[in-house]
Amino acid sequence: MEILNSLNEKQREAASHDKGPILVIAGAGTGKTRVLTHRIAYLIKSGKAMPWEVLAITFTNKAAGEMKDRIGQLIDYSIDKMWIGTFHSICVRILRRFIDRIGYDKNFTIYDTDDQRILIRDCIKELELDPKTYNHSSIKALISNEKNSRNTPDNYIKDNYGNFVNRNKGEIYSLYEKKLKTSNALDFDDLIVKTLKLLETNEDVLELYQERFKYILVDEYQDTNNVQYNLIKILGKKKNDESNVFVVGDEDQSIYGWRGADISNILNFEKDFKGAKTVKLEKNYRSTNIILNAANGVIKNNFQRKGKNLYTELKEGSLIRILQSDNEKDEAFTIAALMRQEHREKNIDYSEISVLYRTNAQSRALEEGLIREGIPYKIVGGVKFYERKEIKDIMAYLRLILNQKDDISFNRIINVPRRKLGQKTIGIISDYAELKGISNFEACFESDKLELMPSAAKSIESFLSMIEMLMIKKDVMPLSEFIIDVIESTGLKDMLLQDETVEGRSRVENMDEFLSAAKDFEERYLENSLEDFLVHISLLADIDKTEDTIKDSVTLMTVHSAKGLEFDTVFIAGLEDGIFPIIRNDGDDDIEEERRLFYVAITRAKRMLYITHANERMMYGNHELKMKSRFLKEIPEECIEESDPVSFGNKKLQRLESNIEKRKDNFFIRPAALAGNNKPKLKSDNIMPGDKIMHKVWGIGTVVQIKGDGKDKVIVIAFENKGIKNLILEYAPIEKI
């Protein structure tokens, strides 16, 4: 048929398949969406099915919309009556018609994430449980996992009866379900779970949809979870064992096991659907042969796969460059320099360049490197590091400790973590502060005049005591130690640790990375007070003018966010064991999914691929020696150009902060070592606590403490009218008097 003429041989074989189940293994860049849309157009145009007899399921509304648009361009028939949508949208259509069969009214409400959070909090409160122990995000994740495993609250409670905390989680789950039912409401997981229950318990409804949908097509089949798989299975298998289920996927791109995706669904398709045909799409239209050979070389080490070998008719292309850096700052500068080279010498738009990393926390060093080099960037699927909620929360605490008149910071964190201070209480404080012409923080000291509830007054008193103690510690503790203390004293750390979801772990990693940023700043500058650090961060954010509206900007994202995208030039950063792959249980399943992630990262590149790793990386505020990723050994040698260690960092360190320093009007003083003076002003055995010294800028001071050993020895000095300063003894511009 003419409509299939534009497809290659294997694509055409899949799209024109007549009857019976078929599995299409579609490698990266092989045109799976093209095959799906042409198959639907072929079925309708050939008269094998009417538009309303085709069910096509995708994972995102965007993918569904794109599919409709493409089909509309291929056929003259109206697509309005087609059932093309996500699992959730398809299930809503079925439930709106028949949900009364399982005890709900047809005008049911769908609760979104915010509604769920409120409902779970209500359940925790009603059961008189501690919200710090029973974090709503973790409870939400647990309920979702149990629903998708089709495990009832009663079964969960029974299985966990001997564990007090888990039993209570089961009670929350149970009460949550009762409240949903009372409200005639469903959450997003229910949409599929209840549809499956409806079809399993109402044979006439099942037969209606089995007969209606002559052909069922499923995109990204490797990402289906247990209930999605069962929904496809029950709809696709008719009484006469006839099954016209057409699934497209790639087991080598199954990277969502952490959210319930089951790779065995695609691996066992032929067992579940007897007589199934398999077609492999291996001709890649995206990448060079070198990139594909590298991807093939890596992924062949996995055992959980069907097996395929991507190839292309494109030219060989450039070798993959693997670059070793000294540390994460050096890595960021190296990447920035190579980006500029690609942009200037090869005329590659910044929008055609991407940096991929394993975790969101890695973006901090990369962002700072790009900001300093003036390269515009945007973050996809995430928020810029210093704009992330948990980072803004800790910065608000630090700003309030430094400046008690900062109402914006006060308002942000007065109830973070929750202190049972409602909006009414905060409003009373703000109104009183405005009346008296003082800050909100200062108004809290007069809480006895505010007629607050005893519990609110007690919470405010505790908050004030905590901030006052931190104000004292600020002047006597090194920056990084002080920030650790703030994170722990305020309860921010405990709050984040209570959230056991993937997002919760990511927020903890971001907080750890913020500590690394502070430690890095502390080591780089003699003037490394809290004031200096906050100015440094503020100026970095101010320099960053790369709004997402700038079209020609580099894209930064995690590998998970990059799936389905492609770029001319790709940098994969942080290829070190423990980072990529992340090693948790070191089990085969974990490593295989990490390897699939690396495969996805490699196959995002069309022409040029750079991979970087560092000898040392700041992790959780400590310098850690790193081993290069085991995955790098799996790339065939003929595909790579492994350069000698390149250090952009040492070369650039002299001008690292030049642009920022000009704007700060010499706010920071460069370490003496960088100015060419490596001689220590004093010997360590020459000075003791109690000695008087003279500083070239701050004048006379008294030594109050000496910490550390060797080159890391720090001298703590109390200056008249300048406060307490921490100086590296080896470089401190001081003289004993």
344 in Cβ contact with 561 (< 8 Å): no
Distance CA 707, CA 713 (A): 6
Active-site entry in 146, 220, 513, 532: 220
DSSP 579-622: TSS--SS--HHHHHHHHHHHHHHHTTEEEEEEEEEESEEEETTE
Active-site entry in 30, 253, 425, 569: 253
704 in Cβ contact with 717 (< 8 Å): yes
Query: Does 33 participate in catalysis according to the annotation?
Result: yes
Active-site entry in 169, 194, 378, 604: 604
Q: Classify burial at 409, counting beta carbons within 10 Å of its beta carbon; exposed 0-12, middle 13-18, buried 19 or more.
A: buried
Q: Comparing C-alpha atoms, which of 345, 699, 371, 312 is closest to residue 554?
A: 371
Which residues are CB-contacts of 510 (< 8 A; sequence separation ≥ 6)?
360, 361, 364, 385, 388, 390, 391
CA dihedral for 387, 392, 398, 400, sign (positive or negative): positive
Tokens of 158: 């029974």
Query: Does 220 participate in catalysis according to the annotation?
Result: yes
Active-site entry in 171, 189, 190, 219: 219
Distance CA 638, CA 504 (A): 41
CA dihedral for 271, 272, 273, 274, sign (positive or negative): positive
CA dihedral for 467, 469, 471, 474, sign (positive or negative): negative
Distance CA 436, CA 629 (A): 61
Active-site entry in 12, 32, 140, 399: 32
Active-site entry in 33, 152, 304, 702: 33
Query: Does 604 participate in catalysis according to the annotation?
Result: yes
Q: Comparing C-alpha atoms, which of 554, 508, 541, 532 is closest to residue 387?
A: 541
540 in Cβ contact with 371 (< 8 Å): yes
**Helices (DSSP H) in 303-445: which residue ranges?**
328-345, 363-373, 389-402, 407-413, 423-436, 440-444
R_g of the chain computed on alpha carbons:
30
Query: Does 219 participate in catalysis according to the annotation?
Result: yes
Q: Comparing C-alpha atoms, which of 88, 74, 76, 82 is closest to residue 33?
A: 74
Active site residues: 32-33, 219-220, 253, 604
